[in-house]
């Protein structure tokens, strides 16, 4: 595997961009490598500047569920582009995308479009605070909700990877209103609620966490949260930025049948462009300006080109059997992985839902953030490097999830399984 050109670009990048990258996990620090610079993508593959080809299981960290350069998306974007890139005035596309989200996700009555997942969670918690008149929020250790001050506490993946669960520059006072619970532990939530009666505006979580590695909610956990919130007049916010239109067309909530009050979106709904959204119950959403008194705005929000990419992506996803196929492919790969590792005697835990999957090097099931931190990160590094050498591009951190796209072929999956076999030999040596 040649890396000369990537190394040169990384050197150059570091002269003008902090750490050579515009988002920390891209730096490959946690796997002890330099990042590879990408030249182009096509379907399930990406190609770096040294001419190496990889099967891509990152998909731009989730958005590219149709793979790279899907022709429907590209055509929609080209058409939108030819009419202008931005107006800062309403366009029909925004309505179409909002209608599609409403139709797909049972709890959404109204939506606000923004430019990123981070902006969506920021808007959602502001709306929750505005609606309830309460200030405190509960989040879960290891759940990531974007790089926004109030939620940058024990925030999983990027932050964990850098060994910095918190960030400098976030004043203590900004997170004093953020209470931390343990994922899959209802008692930890009940205790916080008891200790702060009538003070908690919202409980926010990734209903299926993907940012501390992938973790499944245990039976009764999400329903239990729903009940606790109802009892105390607390709003339940599902952050489905990663899982929305990813685990299934209607997200986790449609699959597991639990209705949050508010939901955040990002990633897939932008089809590879910067789009986020938050929405839910109409009475809450109507608190937002220009109708209500909770202010939130964005110059490029609902950008026509980005929205066109989102509409095109959801249109393709709406077709029959897309998620059944995605799930079957992910399931096949996960099972293959399990059996290969079992044969090699290396303990592995896997989770999968729709087009999202993940694994931990661990003897015991991983139920929460503390469990995730106990897994074998050194082994992950060796595995990651081996797979990269074999042309498989995984997320460069032990605390991330992996993504299947409609573009991945049977041949891709078989090649991935072979790469695992070869890499396993290195792990055993």
Ligand X SMILES: *Cc1c(COP(=O)(O)O)cnc(C)c1O
User: Residue 429 CB, nearest distance to ligand X (Å)?
Assistant: 35
Q: Which of 108, 110, 115 is nearest to 88 (CA)?
A: 115
Whether the CB-CB separation of 199 and 136 falls below 8 Å is answered with yes
Q: State the DSSP H helix or E strand holding residue 352, giving kind and residue range, or none if neither.
A: strand 349-353
Whether the CB-CB separation of 347 and 361 falls below 8 Å is answered with yes
Confirm or reject binding of residue 303 to ligand X (CB under 6 A).
Answer: no
User: Residue 238 CB, nearest distance to ligand X (Å)?
Assistant: 9
Q: Which of 69, 70, 76, 78 is nearest to 47 (CA)?
A: 69
**Which residue stretch of 85-93, 112-120, 342-350, 378-386 sits at the interface with ligand X (rule: CB under 6 A)?**
112-120
Main-chain phi, psi angles of 258, to 5 degrees: -120, 125
Confirm or reject binding of residue 211 to ligand X (CB under 6 A).
Answer: yes
Q: Rounded CA gap, 172 and 149, in Å?
A: 10
The residues carrying an active-site annotation are: 144, 239, 267
**Which residue stretch of 6-14, 162-170, 177-185, 206-214 sits at the interface with ligand X (rule: CB under 6 A)?**
206-214
Among 48, 141, 239, 390, contact with ligand X (rule: CB under 6 A): 239
Helices vs. strands in the chain: H and E counts, helices first: 15, 14
**Which residue stretch of 30-38, 100-108, 115-123, 249-257 sits at the interface with ligand X (rule: CB under 6 A)?**
115-123
Strand segments, DSSP code E, in 245-296 are: 262-265, 276-280
Whether the CB-CB separation of 45 and 382 falls below 8 Å is answered with no
Nearer to ligand X, 393 or 399 (CB): 399
Which residue's beta carbon is nearest to the bound ligand X? Answer: 117
User: Residue 145 CB, nearest distance to ligand X (Å)?
Assistant: 5
User: Residue 168 CB, nearest distance to ligand X (Å)?
Assistant: 20
Whether the CB-CB separation of 312 and 76 falls below 8 Å is answered with yes
* Residues of this chain, 116-135, that bind ligand X according to CB under 6 A: 116-118, 121
Hey, is 379 helix, strand or coil? helix
How many CA atoms lie within 13 Å of 112's alpha carbon, on the beta-carbon side?
A: 28
Residue 81's Cα: distance from chain center in Å? 27
Confirm or reject binding of residue 241 to ligand X (CB under 6 A).
Answer: yes
Confirm or reject binding of residue 224 to ligand X (CB under 6 A).
Answer: no
Confirm or reject binding of residue 206 to ligand X (CB under 6 A).
Answer: yes
Confirm or reject binding of residue 207 to ligand X (CB under 6 A).
Answer: no
User: Residue 132 CB, nearest distance to ligand X (Å)?
Assistant: 21
* Residues of this chain, 254-283, that bind ligand X according to CB under 6 A: 266, 276
Confirm or reject binding of residue 420 to ligand X (CB under 6 A).
Answer: no
Report the 10 Å Cβ neighbour count for 85.
12
User: Residue 118 CB, nearest distance to ligand X (Å)?
Assistant: 3
Binding site for ligand X (CB under 6 A): 116-118, 121, 144-146, 206, 210-211, 239, 241-242, 266, 276
């Amino acid at each position: 595997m040649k890396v000369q050109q990537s190394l040169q670009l990384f050197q150059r990048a570091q002269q003008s961009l902090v750490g050579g990258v515009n988002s920390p996990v891209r730096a490959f620090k946690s796997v002890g490598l330099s990042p590879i610079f990408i030249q182009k993508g096509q379907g399930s593959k990406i190609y770096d500047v040294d001419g190496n080809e990889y099967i891509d299981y990152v998909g731009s960290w989730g958005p590219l569920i149709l793979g790279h350069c899907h022709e429907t998306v590209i055509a929609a974007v080209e058409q939108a582009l030819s009419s202008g890139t931005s107006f800062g005035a309403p366009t029909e596309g925004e309505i179409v995308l909002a209608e599609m989200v409403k139709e797909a996700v049972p709890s959404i009555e109204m939506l606000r479009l923004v430019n990123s997942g981070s902006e969506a969670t920021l808007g959602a918690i502001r709306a929750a605070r505005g609606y309830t008149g309460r200030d405190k929020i509960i989040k879960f250790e290891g759940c990531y909700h974007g790089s926004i001050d109030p939620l940058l506490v024990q925030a999983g993946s990027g932050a964990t990877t850098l060994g910095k669960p918190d960030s400098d520059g976030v004043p203590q006072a900004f997170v004093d209103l953020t209470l931390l619970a343990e994922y899959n532990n209802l008692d930890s939530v009940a205790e916080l609620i008891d200790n702060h009666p009538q003070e908690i505006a919202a409980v926010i979580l990734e209903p299926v966490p993907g940012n501390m590695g992938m973790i499944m909610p245990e039976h009764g956990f999400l329903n239990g949260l729903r009940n606790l919130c109802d009892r105390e007049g607390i709003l339940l916010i599902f952050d489905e930025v990663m899982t929305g239109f990813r685990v299934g067309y209607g997200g986790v909530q449609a699959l597991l049948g639990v209705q949050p009050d508010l939901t955040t979106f990002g990633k897939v709904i932008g089809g590879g462009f910067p789009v986020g959204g938050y929405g839910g119950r109409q009475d809450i959403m109507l608190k937002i300006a220009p109708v209500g008194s909770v202010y939130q705005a964005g110059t490029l929000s609902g950008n026509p080109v980005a929205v066109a990419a989102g509409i095109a992506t959801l249109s393709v996803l709406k077709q029959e059997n897309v998620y059944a196929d995605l799930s079957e492919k992910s399931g096949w790969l996960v099972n293959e992985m399990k059996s290969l590792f079992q044969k090699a005697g290396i303990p592995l835990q896997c989770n999968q839902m729709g087009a999202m999957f993940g694994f931990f090097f661990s003897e015991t099931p991983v139920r929460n953030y503390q469990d995730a931190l106990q897994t074998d990160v050194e082994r992950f590094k060796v595995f990651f490097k081996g797979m990269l050498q074999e042309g498989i591009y995984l997320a460069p951190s032990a605390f991330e999830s992996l993504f299947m796209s409609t573009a991945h072929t049977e041949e891709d999956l078989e090649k991935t399984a072979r790469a695992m076999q070869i890499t396993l030999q290195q792990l055993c040596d």
